[in-house]
């Protein structure tokens, strides 16, 4: 399985993704905003978050690059806004890698079901590298 690069922006993700699509002559990105995601009655989405990018991706010369904006109020440090995304069609592989990398690290979001993945989580490993893990059953094996 490939490791994907995940870039985070501070409100200008749409502009960046569209710019990179033009530069690298890819298809125009399909963009999902925070406002388009399923809403929870327990959490009111702030108005300033509705048009921010929750997720988009580009395939640049065979590499998947994923993008999002930070959620309003979340910390953002330019230059440290990159994480690695481990995506697999095998849930056990996702769990195994997550559990190994969390040793000595710090879990940001424990593995759990989300509206986009049956098994998603994130952590910072003991070397300070940010990781995201996602089970995607339609992911092609490599």
Other residues' Cβ atoms within 10 Å of the Cβ of residue 99? 13
Structure tokens at 6: 């995940």
Task: Give pTM, 2 decimals.
Answer: 0.74
Query: How many CA within 13 A on the CB side of residue 116?
Result: 13
Domains plus CATH for the chain? 5-69 (3.10.180.10), 84-135 (3.30.720.110)
Q: What's the Rg (C-alpha) of the chain? A: 15
Instruction: Give the pLDDT confidence of 45-85 residue by residue, as tens digits.
Output: 999 999 999 999 999 888 899 999 999 988 888 877 889 99
Instruction: Give the pLDDT confidence of 12-21 residue by residue, as tens digits.
Output: 999 999 999 9
* Letter string b/e over residues 77-89, b meaning 16 or more CB atoms within 10 A of that residue's CB: eeeeeebebbbbe
pLDDT higher than threshold 80 for residue 127? no
Other residues' Cβ atoms within 10 Å of the Cβ of residue 72? 14
């Amino acid at each position: 399985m490939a490791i994907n690069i995940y870039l985070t922006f501070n409100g200008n993700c749409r502009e960046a993704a569209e710019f990179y699509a033009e530069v690298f002559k890819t298809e125009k990105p399909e963009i999902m905003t925070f406002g388009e995601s399923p809403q929870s009655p327990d959490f009111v989405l702030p108005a300033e978050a509705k048009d921010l990018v929750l997720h988009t991706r580009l395939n640049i010369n065979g590499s998947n690059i994923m993008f999002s904006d930070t959620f309003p109020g979340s910390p953002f440090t330019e230059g440290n806004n990159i994480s690695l995304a481990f995506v697999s069609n095998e849930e056990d592989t996702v769990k195994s890698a997550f559990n190994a990398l969390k040793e000595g690290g710090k879990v940001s979001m424990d593995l759990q079901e989300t509206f986009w993945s049956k098994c998603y989580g994130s952590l910072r490993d003991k070397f300070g590298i940010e990781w995201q893990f996602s089970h995607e059953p339609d992911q092609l094996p490599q």
